[in-house]
Every structure is written in C-alpha cells, then in structure tokens.
Amino acid sequence: MKKKTMSYVMTGALSITILSGVPSSPAQAASPHLIKEQAAPTVIRTGTKNFADVIEEQALALGINIKGDDLEIAAKKVRLAKLHNQAAALNIETDGKKEKTIRLEVKKAHEMNVYNAAGNLGVETDGKRLKDIIASISDINPEAAAQLNGFY
C-alpha cells in the first residue's frame, strides 16, 4: 500500500512540474534559450521610416516615376539613378554600359580624386583606408572632404 501511494504522489508531483513549465533540472534552468528570452528587453523604435517611404522620397527627389512599380523595381530604379548622377559628377560616360561596369568606374574615379586631394594637401596615404584618408583630409580642409565623402 505504501508503494502504491508513493507512486501516486510522485506521479502527481511530476505532472505538476511538467504542466507548470518549471525546469526539472539545473541544466534546463540555465539553458541559453530561457536566458535569452528572459534577458531580451522589448525594443520599441520611434521615428523610424518605412523603406517604401524612403524609396518614394528619393525617387521624387531624383525625378523618377515609380507609380505602379513594386518595391524591388522602384529601389533598383533609384539606385541606378543615383549611380548615373555620381557618374555624371565624375565625368564618366554611361551610355551602353552595365550597372556593374559603371559602379566600378565610379569607384575608381572616386579613389583617384581622394588620392589626388590627399597629394595636393600633403596627407599621408600609405597603409590607410579610403575613409581614413578622407578623415585626414577633413582635418586640413573640411570643404574638400565634404565633396569626397558623398560617394563611397
């Protein structure tokens, strides 16, 4: 009789433990999944814009008609228009060229402009990234750095 009663008590205790969600072992209590859920704060962002709204604003500023286009096509049109504007600013011919070719030419022309500006201002370029060179130019001539910083 004692064994039967004890098995009922143990079965009841295990059932309550399983149903309540309380971890039955220390290994389960410290699992990364539970810790991550408990430690993750809720994040509420205010003032963030919807990507579609940003693309629409940029298309309007660039004078591109995106009515009836889905978001992916509209974003591609905006990206291509920006690339063509950069190429025009660097006097690069874009007729009949693919986007990748234009992008590479714009990047190379921009790098040459940065190195030329650095050479004119006496900025050391050996072993520095392009961002670091522009930052060094900014220390000497902020206007020149502002013109160079608009690209990559």
What gap in Å lies between CA 18 and CA 12, rounded to an integer?
10
Count of structural domains within the chain:
2
What gap in Å lies between CA 83 and CA 97, rounded to an integer?
12
Q: Which amino acid is at 134?
A: I
Q: What is the pLDDT of residues 97-107, one digit of tens each?
A: 999 999 999 99
What gap in Å lies between CA 91 and CA 102, rounded to an integer?
11
Q: Which of 146, 82, 79 is nearest to 114 (CA)?
A: 146
pTM of structure: 0.60
Confirm whether 52 is domain-assigned.
yes
Confirm whether 37 is domain-assigned.
no
- What is residue 104's predicted lDDT score, i.e. its pLDDT? 95
pLDDT lower than 70: segments of the chain: 1, 14, 17-45, 150-152
102 and 87, same structural domain? Answer: no
Query: Locate tokens 């690069």: which residue?
Result: 92
- What is residue 17's predicted lDDT score, i.e. its pLDDT? 65
Query: Locate tokens 């209590």: which residue?
Result: 29
- What is residue 109's predicted lDDT score, i.e. its pLDDT? 92
Q: Residue 144 belongs to what domain range?
A: 95-151
